[in-house]
Every structure is written in structure tokens, then in C-alpha cells.
């Protein structure tokens, strides 16, 4: 339960931060476009004859403007006020979440019901009975779950490899080590996305069996008072290695 609550808190923070960063980016782009629109080119003219001819042209223009009727001048002023300033207004698409190992879909349902601003939640599992239970749970949770959560029977590794950079959030919570899923998971996360990873083989990460830890995570743990911090660092290093391939 605490693990799911933490995942929901992290996902809420990610959605809010993502929206905030997008608004800042749009404001910067709008400011740049406004500056470009306000810039006026002023050509430099050398020579007395050119200056006098320019003044003559300006005088002719002023005479023409003064001779215009007042109605035309009012129409021109109205048209100037009607022209809107250029602004980049693109809507931010809601994030898409993938729960790679969903089982009965409890976490996916909580995401859909408790986290605002999500677009779609895809629940995967390789067990047919689990997917059937997940679909029943989706129906039990009403319209909010039916409109957002999708359940698919598929191998998580194959599905993530065949959907590269398609999900803004990928949630991995396997039974045991997540190392076998990391290579495909980092490829499924979109640029600027979030990978949530849970490792339940804490005994291996804390140094109970160093050989197993090295074979799964590529690091050899050392027993000590700092074993939990070391376990977290080993997991993060393993994710970084897979992400840099």
C-alpha cells in the first residue's frame, strides 16, 4: 500500500511539474515572437540627394494622409486594433501511463481515479486470468476507469520494445528484480518522461548474495550500515547503464 501511495504522489508531482515547464516554454516562445514582431528595419541612406528625396517622399505621404477622409482613417485605426498579436497556443497533451506488470490492475485503477490530468493508462500482463480480472475491475470502477484504463494481454518486454518513446510514464513493479525489464522500459519512455521502478529483492541488493547482485545489476554490494542507500545507488546505476546503451 505504501508503495502505491508513493507512486501516486510521485505521479501527481510529475504531472504538475510537466505542466509548469510547458507553460514556461510557451511564454518564452511568445516573448520571442513578440520581440521579432516589434523589430522595425531602419535603412541608412548616405548622401544629401538621397536624404532630400526621402524628405520629399515623406512630405508627399503626409499630404496624402491629410487629404484622406476621416472615415478611412477611422477604418484603418479599427483594423490595426483588430489585428491580434502572434501567440503560440498549443495545448499540452495529457500524459500516457504504462503499467508493465499490472496483474489485477489495482495500481492502474488508482492512477486513473486519483491522479488528475492523465490521458490514458495502459495495463499489461502476460497472464490471461490476470487480464480478465483487470477488465472486470475496470468495469466495477465506473466511467472514470472505463474511459482511461486499457488492459492488454502481452509480454511487457516485447510490448515496450515495439512501442518506443510512446509513454510519458512507465511503471515497473515486478516480483523480484526489475533488471530484465529495464532495457525495454527505458526505450518506451518518451523524452522528458518518467520511469518508476520498484525492486523487491532488497536482500540481494543489500549484500546477502553478492554474486547474484552482480549478475543482475552489474554491481557487487558490500554489507554495512549504509546497505539501503547502497541498494538504491546500485539500482540507479543499473538504470543509467541501460539508458546509455
- Domains by residue range for the chain, with CATH: 95-200 (3.40.50.150)
Q: What are phi and psi of 220, to 5 degrees?
A: -105, 115
Flag whether pLDDT at 97 surpasses 80.
yes
pLDDT category of residue 39 using cuts at 50, 70 and 90: low
CA atoms within 13 A on the CB side of 207: 11
pLDDT category of residue 77 using cuts at 50, 70 and 90: very low
Q: Which long-range contacts (CB under 8 A, 24 or more apart) does 174-182 make?
A: 174/101, 174/198, 174/200, 175/101, 175/200, 176/200, 176/201, 177/201, 177/204, 177/216, 177/217, 178/235, 179/216, 179/217, 179/238, 181/100, 181/101, 181/156, 181/157, 182/238, 182/239, 182/242
Flag whether pLDDT at 236 surpasses 80.
yes
Q: Decide if 119 contacts 15 (C-beta within 8 A).
A: no
pLDDT in tens, 123-182: 999 999 999 999 999 999 989 899 999 999 999 999 999 999 999 999 999 988 999 999
| CA 202/CA 176 separation, integer angstroms | 9
Three cell numbers, residue 86: 502572434
Nearest to 96 by CA among 166, 182, 18, 175: 166
Query: For the residues 43-54, what does the mean pLDDT come to?
Result: 47
Query: For the residues 69-80, what does the mean pLDDT come to?
Result: 47
- The pLDDT value given to residue 35: 74
- The pLDDT value given to residue 29: 85
Query: For the residues 36-43, what does the mean pLDDT come to?
Result: 58
Q: Give the mean pLDDT of the chain.
A: 82
Query: For the residues 72-97, what does the mean pLDDT come to?
Result: 60
Flag whether pLDDT at 244 surpasses 70.
yes
Predicted structure pTM score: 0.74
pLDDT category of residue 245 using cuts at 50, 70 and 90: confident
Amino acid at each position: 500500500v505504501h508503495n502505491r501511495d508513493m507512486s501516486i504522489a510521485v505521479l501527481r508531482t510529475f504531472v504538475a511539474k510537466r505542466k509548469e515547464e510547458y507553460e514556461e516554454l510557451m511564454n518564452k516562445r511568445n516573448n520571442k515572437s513578440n520581440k521579432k514582431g516589434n523589430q522595425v528595419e531602419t535603412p541608412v541612406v548616405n548622401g544629401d540627394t538621397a536624404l532630400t528625396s526621402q524628405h520629399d517622399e515623406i512630405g508627399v505621404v503626409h499630404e496624402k494622409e491629410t487629404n484622406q477622409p476621416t472615415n478611412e482613417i477611422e477604418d484603418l485605426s479599427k483594423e490595426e486594433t483588430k489585428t491580434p498579436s502572434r501567440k503560440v497556443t498549443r495545448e499540452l497533451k495529457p500524459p500516457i501511463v504504462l503499467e508493465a506488470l499490472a496483474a489485477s490492475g489495482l495500481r492502474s485503477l488508482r492512477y486513473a481515479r486519483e491522479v488528475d490530468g492523465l490521458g490514458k493508462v495502459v495495463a499489461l500482463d502476460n497472464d490471461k486470468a490476470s487480464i480478465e480480472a483487470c477488465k472486470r475491475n475496470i468495469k466495477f470502477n465506473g466511467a472514470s476507469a472505463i474511459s482511461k484504463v486499457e488492459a492488454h494481454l502481452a509480454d511487457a518486454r516485447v510490448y515496450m520494445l515495439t512501442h518506443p518513446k510512446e509513454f510519458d510514464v512507465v511503471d515497473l513493479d515486478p516480483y523480484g528484480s526489475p533488471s530484465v525489464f529495464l532495457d525495454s522500459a527505458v526505450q518506451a519512455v518518451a523524452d522528458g518522461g518518467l520511469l518508476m521502478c520498484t525492486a523487491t529483492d532488497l536482500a540481494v541488493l543489500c549484500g546477502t548474495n553478492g554474486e547474484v547482485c552482480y549478475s543482475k545489476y552489474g554491481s557487487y554490494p558490500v554489507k554495512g550500515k549504509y546497505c539501503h542507500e547502497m541498494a538504491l545507488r546500485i539500482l540507479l546505476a543499473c538504470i543509467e547503464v541501460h539508458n546509455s546503451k
